[in-house]
Amino acid sequence: MDARSPSPVPIEPPVFILDRPQLAENIGAAARVMLNFGLDRLRLVRPRDGWPQPRAWAAASGAEAPLDAVEVFDRVEDAVADLHFVLAATARPREVVLPVMTPRQAAPQLRERGASQRTGILFGGERAGLESADIALCQAILTIPVAERHRSLNLAQAVALCAYEWRLTEEDAPPARFRPAEAPADGAALLGLYEHLEGELETAGFFHPPEKKATMVRNLRAALGRGGLNDQEVRTLRGVVTALARGRGKVLAKLAAKAEAGPRAAENGET
């Protein structure tokens, strides 16, 4: 790397703020899914049953980082005081007029602003969501495009969707631990498989009637070609064809031996 190249600007992830959450289990589940997607800054505003709550740790299933560092506030105003850009997560239209976006639309904005600003997402309590006064403290509304027939979304589920979309702005690819797919076999390897299979099928009398052989061969090749076989798979299939052909040979040999043994038995007077 050129020593004069600027270092990447660190991106500050958004803070997730739960306003008046009722259930410890939802707080724990939210912490769990936040950590799944690389987020660990969690704030609570007046949790109904106080804080800490052991049931939250149980629901988090080992995702202790967000819970161990939870910040608790008495007012939404205090929870967002140090933030420059806050999204109000709500499904209900209120009197407040603000820009409206989905989690997918919001995530790139949060990332862009995170280079120089502190951002956050404010979620309302399970019973009634956010009040208009809470939304008025935010700079935009975040709403999840759920189906009209049932718009109610669990608090932790809403957190999960927002955290997931944030994660995609960092890593929109399968984890490295998943082995990348091998390159497909080249034309020569596939042709070898086709001709090997077709030769054995010809011997077995598969191509009947003969005038349909060309069509049958074309269909077989098209079916195998759609599979995107790699070299190892081609070798495996050729091994299968060979094993089946040898098996057929063994059967024919047994039948021939049995047929030959018949006349000898008759000559010796055996029944």
For the chain, domain boundaries: 15-170, 187-267
As a whole number, mean pLDDT of residues 73-83 equals 96
Q: Is the pLDDT of residue 270 over 60?
A: no
Question: What span, in angstroms and rounded, lies between the C-alpha atoms of 264 and 270?
Answer: 9
Query: How open is the CA angle 266-269-271, to the nearest 5 degrees?
Result: 70
Q: Give the Cβ contact number of residue 47 at 10 Å.
A: 22
As a whole number, mean pLDDT of residues 235-243 equals 93
Which residues are CB-contacts of 204 (< 8 A; sequence separation ≥ 6)? 248
Q: Is the pLDDT of residue 12 over 60?
A: yes
Instruction: Compute the mean pLDDT over every residue in the chain, rounded to the nearest whole number.
Output: 87
As a whole number, mean pLDDT of residues 121-125 equals 94
Q: How confident is the model at residue 7 (pLDDT cuts 50, 70, 90)?
A: low
Which token pair is 11? 């991106």
| Residue 266: predicted pLDDT | 53
Helix axes 213-226, 187-203, angle to 10 degrees: 140
| Residue 173: predicted pLDDT | 61
| Residue 267: predicted pLDDT | 59
As a whole number, mean pLDDT of residues 255-262 equals 68
Percent of the chain with pLDDT over 70: 85
Q: What is the pLDDT of residues 41-77, one digit of tens each?
A: 999 999 999 999 999 999 999 889 999 999 999 999 9
Q: Is the pLDDT of residue 89 over 70?
A: yes
Percent of the chain with pLDDT over 90: 66
15-170 homologous superfamily:
SPOUT methyltransferase, trefoil knot domain (3.40.1280.10)
Residue 269 vs residue 53, higher pLDDT: 53
Q: What is the pLDDT of residues 135-193, one digit of tens each?
A: 999 999 999 998 888 878 899 999 999 999 999 998 766 666 666 677 889 999 999 99
| Residue 1: predicted pLDDT | 44
Question: What span, in angstroms and rounded, lies between the C-alpha atoms of 88 and 15?
Answer: 12
Q: Is the pLDDT of residue 24 over 80?
A: yes
Taking the complete model, does pTM exceed 0.75, yes or no?
no
| Residue 212: predicted pLDDT | 92
Q: Is the pLDDT of residue 80 over 60?
A: yes
